[in-house]
Amino acid sequence: MVLVALVALAIGYNTLKLFPYVPQSNTPQFACEADQKFVVMVANVKKGNRSADGLIRLVEEHSPDLFLALETDEWWDAELAALDSQMPHKAQRITGGFFGMHLFSRLPISETEVIFPVEQDAPAILTNVEMPSGDSVQFMGLHPRPPHPGQSSTGRDAQLMWAALKSRGSDLPVLVAGDLNAVPWETSIERLQRVGGFIDPREKFGYKPTYDAHSWWMSWPLDQILHQPELAVANFEVLPEWGSDHYPIKVEMCNTATDSEPPQLRKDDIAEAEQDIDLAIRSAPDQR
């Protein structure tokens, strides 16, 4: 009886956590001016993977305005140069480890920074993207270090909290994109949403797992795009497997207000976010 009760409790808990990610059949439609539309694509290439042709074909087929590639190295830098003519605006950082990243853009970008906010080998890209209308949005590309057995989530959580606090003070609407190495219902992502004022489009478009593309049983939504309410999502799509252990995601966005609201800030959220950052900075060795 105890075992049955525990199983029922586990099922109930997981049902409660996953219920918000049941796709909504009545996803609201909204008008979006052509000069306010933009498409974002994210792909963790898996360092050591050498199937660049498949990824480049996907990028060319789906024609994103912003394309963020993660786990890139020198080899990927050379291969992805094939996109330069289509997406001439670029920011990148090769770390030598698993946290290199490249951002390609068809749209002009400005005030671009590639920085190491909390963990010295896990950079972030911060830039302003100019819409054809002349309006701008702020883009954050993230790939925080994942927790492993024997390694805490301190660095990951701190980078997410840095993004949350940075976004909270932004004068522009912000979207965060990347392999966040956390599922949407983890405490760190939930606090990221509350502090940064972010909305998760999966709450309208469904669970949409992105990892592991090579596993028939393990399926988690690690790759995410979160947005503030001044932005809206028209479509969220997981693209086909092409060689990496992550599926790419493609999100069609509009620089217009959404009808959704971010979760409410809790009393201790900001203080706990600042504590996470302080702990990571004090404990992380300089590996740049």
Contact 28, 259 (CB under 8 A): yes
Fold of 29-283: Deoxyribonuclease I; Chain A (3.60.10)
Tell me the C-alpha distance between 159 and 279, whole Å: 11
Quick one: pLDDT at residue 174?
98
- Helical ranges in 66-179 per DSSP H: 74-80, 154-168
What confidence score (pLDDT) does residue 67 get? 98
Which amino acid type is present at position 163? A
pLDDT at residue 23, as a whole number: 60
CA dist 50 and 144 (Å) reads 23
User: pTM for the complete prediction?
Assistant: 0.92
Q: Cα–Cα distance between 93 and 122 in angstroms, integer?
A: 10
Q: Which residues of the chain have pLDDT under 70?
A: 1-28, 150, 284-288
User: What is the amino acid identity at position 210?
Assistant: T
Q: Please name the residues in contact with 150: beta carbons below 8 A apart, sequence gap of 6 or more.
A: none
Omega cis (within 30) before 212:
yes
pLDDT of amino acid 4: 42
Domain boundaries, the chain: 29-283
pLDDT of residue 24: 61
